[in-house]
Amino acid sequence: MAADGITITDFLDIDIRAGRIVRAERFPRARRPAYKLWIDFGDLGVRKSSAQITDVYALDDLEGRLVMAVVNLPPRQVADFMSEVLVLGVPDEDGGNVILIGPDREVKPGSRLL
């Protein structure tokens, strides 16, 4: 479902940046299976996120991966973990699993989506 029209200013208010996952751990206290992620955004520093991607990604597949995330949303408490960014993804063909969105080439962590 496409959103109603927005202005370019509305779009630019959303700060979407590339980041590199530097640490990933299981998140047993989450309601649904999830991982805790620590993501390096260059000059913005390392930020944390919770991601329900355990059915698609093994922990070993995550460290070093580039992802895109919204970095200017307010932090959100998820169980005993403060999620500071929203990692972006799209549903797979069946709509049941999230597939991470990331650059298809190497970019500098912290690069802003244009």
Q: Which domains does the chain have, with CATH numbers?
A: 9-100 (2.40.50.140)
* Tokens 């973990």 -> residue: 81
Per-residue pLDDT at 13 exceeds 90 = yes
**H-only helix segments in the chain:** 8-12, 59-62
Output the average pLDDT for the chain. 95
Q: Residue 101 has what pLDDT?
A: 97
49: CB partners within 8 A, 6+ apart: 36, 37, 39, 69, 83, 84, 85, 86, 87
Q: Residue 4 has what pLDDT?
A: 80
Q: Residue 33 has what pLDDT?
A: 92
